[in-house]
């Protein structure tokens, strides 16, 4: 029997381990944490179960939906509320996010909903995209450069910065074009304009909503995957941190959950090694970006009207607002509104200052926030400003918590030769891509 080691028990590792074990491979799954799931976890606030990080998945490629069906969650797949999200520009103008865009890039620059955000002059400049030769911007390294050259600074600032920044926690000038929108460059050259390229890219997505969810939360995927680890006899080693990862050998050490101190190193051998984490020996001195999510449960009937649809994406320099996005989760997901019994769940995201260090990748855990604290007060103040509804912590806040996520800012994991890189560090952010890549890698190993 073939032996495979999978390093990391997030969604990427779980999916690969499941497919391999189903195919008859003996799999050992190493997870440094005490629980499986990585960035897909849940927390409970005011008695409501909520996703702690990922709360939806891109329907692109149909990978997550198919996996969910295989895992018996087919009847639990849901679509978000159709009202969609809003955007707040740098000068604090608010408007619904234009329909039919791609990471904020409009497909019809002169559409009324685009003009409402970028103004007439911004839209006219963006429309020039249709007159420029296809080669203009076609060599752009970043998403920001492409949009600036084709559609101008206003569209970049008012739409792409808040939208792409909200998804990737980074300014578009730092986002590698081919990584965040694979195929867009080729579509530009083929279609002759960026707007038409956006239309072409969107046409490739399945009909219906661009994102999907699961009734009860995305974490149900992990519950089912974890159950399958038993069904398919995967040897799951929780609390085991890989300290050296090679093509056929992994050194791992148990971690004392109380002190975090590593125990004696154990050497494991395998025919193949798949890793969702960068080589621990090679990840010193990297920049680590972070995001803090503050979740509020509030009691304010004026929010029933969904004043900003499913939430807001915020320009990072919008004056007086600390949050860069707000999800009105009880509007976005009907199942959550039912679970919340008339209360509202708001999730605000804050960018954390980058810091150096290699300790921080992996799961965060939720910490309760005292409703009378300064943090609660400023999050409630942000929510009020973003939603345009009066909110005061002492009057409306039922409960709050926060979680910090940090992830290395890297373009592909630095792995030893022969190690198969899977997961976010190798293939980029988002469950759709992560699931697809794990399945492809598992299939290749099974074919071999
Ligand atoms: C706040 C936030 C919101 C998000 N929202 C969405 C969303 O709505 N939709 C979406 O599609 N995606 C979203 N994502 C991204 C998505 O969650 C991730 O891309 C995906 O879950 C990554 O899975 P992974 O298995 O590659 O990594 P991880 O989930 O990070 O799993 C890696 C695992 O490896 C473990 N590990 C680390 N080092 C070692 C070691 N040395 N030895 C052994 N184990 C180790 C970690 O503990 C962890 O469990 C979000 C991410 C964040 C942070």
Please give the number of the atom of ligand 1 that sits closest to the Cα of 425. 26
What residue's CA is closest to ligand 1, atom 46? 362
- Residue 10 Cα to ligand 1 midpoint, Å, equals 6
Considering only CA atoms, give the Rg of the chain: 22
CA-closest candidate to residue 149, choices 128, 170, 165, 167 = 128
Task: Give strand pairing partners of 406.
Answer: 290, 361
Token reading at 418 = 């022969």
- Residue 115 Cα to ligand 1 midpoint, Å, equals 37
> Residues with Cβ within 6 A of ligand 1?
7-13, 30-33, 38-40, 53-58, 241-242, 276-277, 280, 291, 293, 361-363, 405, 423-424, 429-432, 434
Q: What is the pLDDT of residue 363?
A: 45
- Architecture of the CATH domain 3-78+216-283+409-447: 3-Layer(bba) Sandwich (3.50)
Task: List where CATH 1.10.3110.10 sits in the chain.
Answer: 98-204
CATH fit for domain 98-204, picks 1.10.3720.10, 1.10.630.10, 3.20.20.70, 1.10.3110.10: 1.10.3110.10
Q: By the 8 A CB rule, do 136 and 150 touch?
A: yes
345 Cβ contact list (under 8 Å, min separation 6)? 45, 48, 50, 295, 296, 297, 328, 329, 330, 336
Residue-wise DSSP of 70-139: HTT-GGGEE---TT--EEE-TT--EEEPPSS-BTTB-SSTTSHHHHHHHHHHHHHHHHGGGTS-TTTTTT
Largest CA-CA distance found in the chain, in angstroms, rounded: 66
Please give the number of the atom of ligand 1 that sits closest to the Cα of 424. 26
What's the per-residue H, E or C state across 320-369?
CCCCCEEEEHHHHCHHHHHHHCCCEEEEEEEEEEEEECCCCECCCCCEEE
Report the alpha-carbon distance of residue 426 to residue 183 in Å, rounded.
Answer: 18
Please give the number of the atom of ligand 1 that sits closest to the Cα of 30. 43
CATH fit for domain 288-406, picks 1.10.287.310, 3.90.660.20, 3.90.1150.10, 3.40.50.300: 3.90.660.20
Secondary structure of residue 203 in the 3-state scheme: helix
- Residue 236 Cα to ligand 1 midpoint, Å, equals 17
Task: List where CATH 3.90.660.20 sits in the chain.
Answer: 288-406
CA-closest candidate to residue 161, choices 108, 96, 87, 99 = 87
Report the alpha-carbon distance of residue 329 to residue 310 in Å, rounded.
Answer: 7
**With a cut of 70, which residues of the chain have pLDDT below it?**
1, 206-208, 257, 281-289, 353-364, 407-413
Q: By the 8 A CB rule, do 17 and 229 touch?
A: yes
Report the alpha-carbon distance of residue 290 to residue 387 in Å, rounded.
Answer: 25
Q: What is the pLDDT of residue 210?
A: 83
- Residue 100 Cα to ligand 1 midpoint, Å, equals 28
Q: What is the pLDDT of residue 362?
A: 42
Token reading at 332 = 């976005």
Please give the number of the atom of ligand 1 that sits closest to the Cα of 363. 47
- Residue 364 Cα to ligand 1 midpoint, Å, equals 10
pTM above 0.85, yes or no: yes
pLDDT digits (tens, 9 = 90+) for 21-36: 999 999 999 999 889 9
Q: Could you identify the residue written with the tokens 């345009």? A: 388
CA-closest candidate to residue 295, choices 400, 406, 405 = 400
């Amino acid at each position: 029997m073939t032996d495979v080691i999978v390093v990391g028990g997030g969604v990427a590792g779980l999916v690969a381990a499941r497919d391999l074990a189903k195919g008859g491979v003996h799999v050992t799954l190493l997870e440094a944490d005490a629980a499986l799931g990585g960035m897909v976890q849940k927390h409970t606030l005011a008695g409501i179960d909520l996703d702690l990080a990922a709360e939806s998945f891109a329907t692109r490629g149909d990978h997550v939906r198919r996996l969910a069906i295989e895992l018996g969650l087919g009847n639990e797949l849901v679509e978000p509320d159709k009202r969609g999200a809003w955007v707040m520009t740098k000068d604090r103008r608010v408007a619904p996010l234009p329909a039919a865009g791609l990471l904020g890039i409009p497909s019809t620059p002169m559409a009324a909903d685009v003009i409402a955000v970028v103004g007439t002059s911004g839209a006219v400049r963006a429309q020039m995209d249709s007159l420029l030769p296809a080669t203009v911007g076609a060599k752009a390294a970043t998403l920001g450069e492409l949009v600036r050259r084709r559609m101008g600074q206003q569209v970049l600032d008012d739409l792409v910065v808040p939208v792409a920044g909200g998804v990737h926690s980074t300014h578009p000038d730092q986002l590698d074009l081919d990584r965040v929108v694979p195929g867009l460059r080729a579509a530009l050259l083929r279609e002759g304009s960026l707007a038409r390229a956006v239309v072409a890219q969107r046409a490739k997505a399945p009909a219906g909503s661009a994102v999907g969810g699961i009734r009860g939360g995305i974490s149900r995927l992990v519950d089912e995957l974890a159950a399958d680890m038993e069904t398919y006899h995967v040897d799951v080693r929780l609390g085991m941190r890989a300290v050296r990862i090679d093509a056929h050998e992994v050194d791992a050490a148990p971690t004392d959950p109380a002190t975090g101190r590593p125990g004696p190193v154990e050497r494991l051998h395998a025919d193949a090694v798949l890793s969702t984490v960068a080589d621990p020996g090679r990840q010193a001195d990297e920049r680590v970006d972070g995001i803090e999510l503050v979740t509020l449960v509030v009691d304010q009937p004026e929010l029933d009207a969904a004043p900003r649809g499913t939430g807001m994406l915020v320009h990072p320099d919008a004056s007086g607002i600390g949050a860069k996005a707000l999800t009105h989760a009880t509007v976005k997901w009907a199942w959550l509104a039912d679970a919340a019994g008339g209360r509202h769940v708001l999730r605000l995201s804050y960018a954390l200052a980058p810091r150096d260090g290699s300790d921080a990748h992996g799961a965060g855990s939720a910490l309760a926030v005292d409703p009378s604290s300064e943090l609660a007060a400023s999050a409630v103040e942000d929510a009020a400003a973003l939603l345009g509804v009066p909110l005061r912590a002492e009057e409306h806040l039922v409960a709050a918590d926060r979680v910090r996520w940090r992830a290395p800012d890297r373009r592909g994991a630095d792995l030893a030769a022969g190690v198969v890189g899977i997961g976010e560090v190798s293939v980029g952010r988002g469950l759709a891509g992560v699931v697809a890549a794990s399945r492809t890698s598992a299939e290749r190993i099974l074919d071999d």
